[in-house]
A and B are shown apart, each in its own frame.
Chain A
């Protein structure tokens, strides 16, 4: 069975500061990993994905994530936070097989302080 743990249900940073959202996964097979963002009252939008190619993945809006197999982690970072980054972020894992069902973490709400 697969699982995802996001450390910290709420993260608050100042505008211009580094954003670091943590995600650790458990998977018995090589995983496919995703970060999604959800703005208030909207659906989920894909930020980036890891599908066994490069371990450092760049996504939209200046976000990137690094797949570290030894640490079973896929942390999301952005060098400089912007007010528009305030949202909820979800990490998800898939086994890449068949229906490729996603298992989501519980989410991290990011607040940006001016």
Chain B
């Protein structure tokens, strides 16, 4: 099993450009999450999904959209990137039980 994978690993955008980050998991997990990690702030939840076709807002959803058309994939979109969205983005997934989340390797995004 590959676990949780994220594409791409690195990306540089200019202000106003758009992009989509892809998260894929092969563990048949129901729950998926997108976080951003910024220095000194830990990880903050952007959006999450409790199953295929569902999404919900987390702590810092502004400027991001998500979709979960297939159970194994969770996409994070930036419609008009801003420098404040420069961060490392992590995807995670979880089965119903046990309760821990499994994390992907991250995507480092820089917005100029």
Contact with B along A92-114 (1 / 0, CB 8 A): 10101011111111110000000
Q: Choose from B50, B58, B99, B103 the contact partner of A44 (Cβ within 8 Å).
A: B103
Instruction: Say which size band chain B's interface belongs to.
Output: 20 to 34
- Known contacts A9-B40, A103-B45; 16 additional CB pairs below 8 A are A42-B106, A43-B104, A43-B106, A44-B90, A90-B43, A92-B43, A99-B50, A99-B56, A100-B94, A101-B48, A102-B45, A104-B42, A104-B43, A105-B42, A106-B40, A106-B41
**Pairwise interchain contact A101-B58, C-beta atoms closer than 8 A:** yes
Instruction: In the A-B complex, list the 8 residue pairs whose CB atoms are closest, starting with the nearest.
Output: A104-B42, A43-B103, A44-B103, A104-B43, A106-B42, A43-B105, A46-B100, A99-B50
Which residue of chain A has its CB nearest to the CB of B94?
A: A100
B74 is an interface residue with CB less than 8 A from chain A? no
**Which B residues contact A (CB, under 8 angstroms)?**
4, 31, 33, 40-45, 48, 50, 56, 58, 90, 92, 94, 98-106
**A62 to chain B: closest CB distance in Å?**
19
Instruction: Say which size band chain A's interface belongs to.
Output: 20 to 34
Q: Quick one: given A9-B40, A90-B43, A107-B42, are A102 and B101 in contact (CB under 8 Å)?
A: yes
A67 is an interface residue with CB less than 8 A from chain B? no
* CB neighbours of B31 from chain A (8 A): 99-100
Which residue of chain B has its CB nearest to the CB of A4?
A: B42
